[in-house]
């Protein structure tokens, strides 16, 4: 069950391959545990956010379900050390090599997981200075992010609630761009994707990049 604003490209690819090898089932939602006289109960709140690299973790599931009220949003990867003003920043040939290298890794992963080129096309068409693109039901199907219309196929014993996700503590806004190439060899660079605040539905402010 996924509710995330994204993170490291290469770490997410590795985690997604691990999920895939375990034949895990994936969906978007927030699980909430409550204590009752009959014991602990776990409910699922489907109004959750799966953004950036979280979308590619969703793709790793053997069976994949996206609730109608969930938000699945995508955008490009970028260099984290130029997050404050990506349009005005300068970029070296090595910077471009790192981004293109990781786009290639992401493309191979997407097809290995059974995803479609539509997912890559939609993601790579959204620059970091624009709002993240929320996938429509038709786009989710074209990207092959949805393999079932029945939530019971991924959560057979969970209780589903319509309570809004706003009742939970919001996720913190972290760095929303990929990590730069500074002070690292090209093969050692860890890229990160943009992360947006929840549930603003728009562009998030950037914080200093993480290594």
pLDDT at 181 exceeding the cut of 60: no
Q: 32 burial class (0-12, 13-18, 19+ CB within 10 angstroms)?
A: middle
Structure-token match 């409910």, residue found: 43
Whether residue 206 lies inside any domain: the answer is no
Upstream peptide bond of 10 is cis (omega within 30 degrees of 0):
no
Whether residue 54 lies inside any domain: the answer is yes
Give me the mean pLDDT over the 2-24 stretch: 93
Q: 129 burial class (0-12, 13-18, 19+ CB within 10 angstroms)?
A: exposed
Whether residue 62 lies inside any domain: the answer is yes
Whether residue 84 lies inside any domain: the answer is yes
| Number of Cα atoms under 13 Å in the Cβ half of residue 108 | 10
- Contact present, 2 and 54 (Cβ < 8 Å): yes
Domain count, the chain: 1
Write down the pLDDT at residue 103: 93
Give me the residues paired with residue 40 across strands: 35
pLDDT single digits (tens) 8-17: 888 999 999 9
Write down the pLDDT at residue 144: 96
Whether residue 155 lies inside any domain: the answer is yes
Structural domain of residue 43, as residue ranges? Answer: 9-188
pLDDT single digits (tens) 29-62: 988 877 777 777 778 888 899 999 999 999 999 9
Q: CB count, 10 Å around CB of 193?
A: 31
Q: Which residue has the higher pLDDT, 79 or 96?
A: 96
Measured CA to CA, the distance from residue 178 to residue 53 in angstroms comes to 11
Whether residue 112 lies inside any domain: the answer is yes
Whether residue 211 lies inside any domain: the answer is no
Whether residue 179 lies inside any domain: the answer is yes
Cα separation of the two ends of the chain:
27
Is pTM, for the whole model, over 0.85?
no
Measured CA to CA, the distance from residue 114 to residue 207 in angstroms comes to 34
Measured CA to CA, the distance from residue 136 to residue 179 in angstroms comes to 29
């Amino acid at each position: 069950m996924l509710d995330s604003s994204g993170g490291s490209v290469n770490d997410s690819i590795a985690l997604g391959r691990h999920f895939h090898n375990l034949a895990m089932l994936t969906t978007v939602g927030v699980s909430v545990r409550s204590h009752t006289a009959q014991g602990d109960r776990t409910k699922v709140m489907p109004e959750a956010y799966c953004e950036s690299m979280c979308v590619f973790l969703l793709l790793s599931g053997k069976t994949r379900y996206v609730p109608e009220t969930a938000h699945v949003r995508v955008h490009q990867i970028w260099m984290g050390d130029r997050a404050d003003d990506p349009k005005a920043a300068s970029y070296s040939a090595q910077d471009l090599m790192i981004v293109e290298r990781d786009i290639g890794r992401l493309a191979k992963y997407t097809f290995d997981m059974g995803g479609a080129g539509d997912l890559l096309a939609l993601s790579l068409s959204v620059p970091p200075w624009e709002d993240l693109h929320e996938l429509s039901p038709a786009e989710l199907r074209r990207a092959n992010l949805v393999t079932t219309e029945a939530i019971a196929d991924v959560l057979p014993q969970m209780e589903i609630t319509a309570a809004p996700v706003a009742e939970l503590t919001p996720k913190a806004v972290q760095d929303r761009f990929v990590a730069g190439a500074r002070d690292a060899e090209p093969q050692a660079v860890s890229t990160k994707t943009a992360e947006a605040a929840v549930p603003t539905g728009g562009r998030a402010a950037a914080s200093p990049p993480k290594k």
